[in-house]
Amino acid sequence: MWLPVFRHGLTALLVCLALLMPCLAQAYDALILLSRRDPGYDEVLRGFRATRTITQRVLILSDYSEADIVRIVREDRPGVVLAMGDKALAAARGLRQTPVVAVMSLSIRERRNNLPNLSGIDMFAPPEQFLRLFRDMKKHRIGVLDDPARCAWYLRRVRQLAQ
């Protein structure tokens, strides 16, 4: 007598679980890619979180030997990808549909032409601002640590304006 009831109860339980499974799936508004653990990235992330309460997933790329960001985005479908740092921006290079916002990356200028879904905050301030500041400080000799592969164009512009 109790076996048919148990069978129907088990069937009802399985149907309820099947209906609830999409609700249990991990969905979020933003996938946050951090190149590495860094206090500067934490500060930017704190400011990002302060603007709005959103659901998010944070991946620190230095913790993984290789992360397939395209697969993660395809499966999880976040609304936006926030890439912090050059390594995070490079990991997001295969994304075509999902908007990518890059911050704290020197290579955003190079990639912006190739990726129409990329936007972000450029790390380079106009050289006129720096030159005005140095002139007000009465400084004539200024040393610069640079990476020629990433910012040679910027230093050429600074030299032209300084002359």
* pLDDT score of 78: 92
Q: pLDDT band for position 34 (50/70/90)?
A: very high
CB 147 within 8 A of CB 106: yes
Q: Is 104:41 a contact under the CB 8 Å cutoff?
A: yes
**DSSP for 99-142, written as a single string:** -EEEES-TTHHHHHTT-TTEEE--SPPPHHHHHHHHHHTT----
Structure tokens at 44: 């930017």
112's CB contacts (< 8 A; 6+ apart) are 118, 119, 120
Task: Supply the pLDDT for residue 116.
Answer: 81
Cα 92 from Cα 81, distance rounded (Å): 8
Mean pLDDT computed over 143-147: 74
Q: What is the pLDDT of residue 5?
A: 45
Residue predicted with more confidence, 60 or 8? 60
